[in-house]
Amino acid sequence: MPYNHINQDLLNTITDIVGADSVITGQTEIENYSHDETEDLIYYPEVVVKPQNTDQIAALLKLCNANQIPVTPRGAGTGLAGGALPVNGGLLISMERFNRIIAIDEQNLQATVEPGVITEVFMNAVAEKNLLYPVDPASKGSCYIGGNVANCSGGPRVVKYGTIREYILNLEVVLPTGEVIWTGANTLKYASGYNLTQLLIGSEGTLGIVTKIVTKLIPRPTQDVLMLASFASNEDACAAVSAIFRAGVVPSALEFMERKGIEWVIEHDGIAFDLKDDIGAFLLIEVDGSNQDVIFGDCEVINGVLEQYNCKDVLFADSSAQKEELWRIRRTMAVSVKSNSVYKEEDTVVPRAALPELINGIKQIGGKYGFSSVCYGHAGDGNLHVNIIKAGMSDEDWNNKLKDGITEIFELTISLGGTLSGEHGIGLVQKNYMPLKYSDVHFAIWKGIKQTFDPNNILNPGKIFN
């Protein structure tokens, strides 16, 4: 169905709904909302609004639904799959003013927050009460918790504490038709009706706009140990991953980093790091808990495993500052890679024992197509972020042949029991690869669900599968 443009009448009504100071139409300011962190894609919305409450969003969606205006909800714009790009123009709803932590309920270990709260701000607020919200994407310092819900975002600590699905209890959602519902109840579990909370998580803003989030919290562990293990090869490092769990230990983080990633972090961020010549890859391993003996015991077990997998050296962080420094290396890796080259990021996930085969295969495919790659990610979850680097590839090959190489990467991922995207979502840039994994039956079901929520396809069209 063709979309309409926002004419002056509609703009007046929009302005009436949110107030003049919450409407942006000027080209300079609107530019900020034309891109996210996905490569260099730019799509301009016609109008940006910054609503402040649920009623305003309901009124906006009702208006757009009645007038066939596409609507793109946007969190912090840190997405890596183009999910927040307004590919059909129309109205962009920025959630930046939904930034209140409404309540931290210490009786029930729950919190109610608005979706525009920065994830780390929320984590710190609950930490002050000795509580943990463990879903911490690398971009936690800038991303919004609402974006995390929309993209089913992960992070290092999923490996021990479970996915975001375990921590989101209830959502207030404005549907594309302007109706407002709570998806479930403020309870740790429920079994009544198809679970709309879970359906909304990971729906990338295509089914509704989340306006309140109720989260589960857990007691905060009091101690942790962080170690950096170095290996000669990617394969050795990756092979050690599943062995650690088989030894009976569940670390609170188990991150893989390729040598090249560290090199670029050193170069880009000026971080002092003694990178030895014979090291090809690293595992960053954190063990947390509330008892030092247990943590040390787990570290001993892990050390024993690492030795069996040709680990060259293990550095134990000996201060908070050193821990922060090691984490900074991991977290800034994406930005460092981006600032060093033309790149494309792909997000792969496999059963964790398949990691060695995955990373070797990626390198072979790179050799065939002429691209290099920098890989890192949440190895404990089998989740590898693959940054494809243009390097010596010709523009023509980059623009035309690379997609065949990416297709081969995903075919390999799928053949190993995995799928596209562990935690970045499909958005705009991965949707053409979806048929590699999913059949017409999946697409028909997804479209049927979308149609149920959004009969006029106004909400974030052009994403995931449509």
- Out of 7, 185, 316, 328, the only residue in the binding site for a copy of itself (CB under 8 A) is 185
Taking CB under 8 A as the rule, does residue 203 contact a copy of itself? yes
**Least distance from a copy of itself to the Cβ atom of residue 68, Å:** 20
Angle, helices 402-415/355-369, rounded to nearest 10 degrees: 160
- Out of 104, 210, 349, 389, the only residue in the binding site for a copy of itself (CB under 8 A) is 349
DSSP 49-116: E---SHHHHHHHHHHHHHHT--EEEESSS--SS-TT--TT-SEEEE-TT---EEEEETTTTEEEE-TT
Looking at residues 57 to 76 of the shown chain, list those that interact with a copy of itself (rule: CB under 8 A).
none
Q: Where are the alpha helices (DSSP H) in 247-319?
A: 259-269, 292-308
Looking at residues 287 to 346 of the shown chain, list those that interact with a copy of itself (rule: CB under 8 A).
289-291, 293-294, 297
- Out of 5, 103, 219, 415, the only residue in the binding site for a copy of itself (CB under 8 A) is 219
CA 390 to the chain's CA centroid:
23
Taking CB under 8 A as the rule, does residue 417 contact a copy of itself? yes
**Least distance from a copy of itself to the Cβ atom of residue 109, Å:** 6
Looking at residues 21 to 60 of the shown chain, list those that interact with a copy of itself (rule: CB under 8 A).
none
d(CA 23, CA 89): 15
- Out of 19, 181, 267, 324, the only residue in the binding site for a copy of itself (CB under 8 A) is 181
Around 433, how many Cα atoms within 13 Å sit in the side-chain half-sphere?
26
**Tokens in use for 301?**
């077990």
Cβ nearer to a copy of itself, comparing 193 with 270: 193
Cβ nearer to a copy of itself, comparing 123 with 329: 123
- Out of 186, 303, 372, 407, the only residue in the binding site for a copy of itself (CB under 8 A) is 186
**Least distance from a copy of itself to the Cβ atom of residue 21, Å:** 32
Contact 59, 178 (CB under 8 A): yes
Alpha-carbon dihedral sign for residues 149, 328, 426, 354: negative
Taking CB under 8 A as the rule, does residue 190 contact a copy of itself? yes
Q: Which stretch binds a copy of itself (CB under 8 A): 151-159, 277-285, 308-316, 394-402?
A: 151-159
Number of chain positions touching a copy of itself (CB under 8 A): 92
Taking CB under 8 A as the rule, does residue 435 contact a copy of itself? no
Cβ nearer to a copy of itself, comparing 48 with 429: 429
Dihedral-angle region of residue 192 (phi above 0 means left; psi in -120 to 50 means alpha; beta otherwise)? beta
Looking at residues 254 to 293 of the shown chain, list those that interact with a copy of itself (rule: CB under 8 A).
289-291, 293
**Least distance from a copy of itself to the Cβ atom of residue 247, Å:** 8
SS3 358: helix
Q: Which stretch binds a copy of itself (CB under 8 A): 60-68, 261-269, 321-329, 438-446?
A: 438-446
- Out of 76, 201, 359, 379, the only residue in the binding site for a copy of itself (CB under 8 A) is 201
Contact 79, 59 (CB under 8 A): no
Taking CB under 8 A as the rule, does residue 153 contact a copy of itself? yes
d(CA 244, CA 258): 19
**Tokens in use for 215?**
């989260």
Looking at residues 90 to 149 of the shown chain, list those that interact with a copy of itself (rule: CB under 8 A).
105-110, 130
- Out of 38, 94, 119, 151, the only residue in the binding site for a copy of itself (CB under 8 A) is 151
Residue tagged 């079901």 (tokens): 445
Taking CB under 8 A as the rule, does residue 423 contact a copy of itself? yes
**Least distance from a copy of itself to the Cβ atom of residue 15, Å:** 28
Cβ nearer to a copy of itself, comparing 372 with 419: 419
Contact 453, 176 (CB under 8 A): yes
Residue tagged 């926002």 (tokens): 6
- Out of 147, 418, 461, 462, the only residue in the binding site for a copy of itself (CB under 8 A) is 418
> What b/e readout covers 297-335, taking b as 16+ CB neighbours within 10 angstroms?
ebbeebeebbeebebeebeebeeeeebeebbebbbbbbb
Cβ nearer to a copy of itself, comparing 224 with 269: 224
- Out of 9, 40, 189, 272, the only residue in the binding site for a copy of itself (CB under 8 A) is 189
Residue tagged 């305003």 (tokens): 56
d(CA 314, CA 240): 13
- Out of 91, 196, 287, 379, the only residue in the binding site for a copy of itself (CB under 8 A) is 196
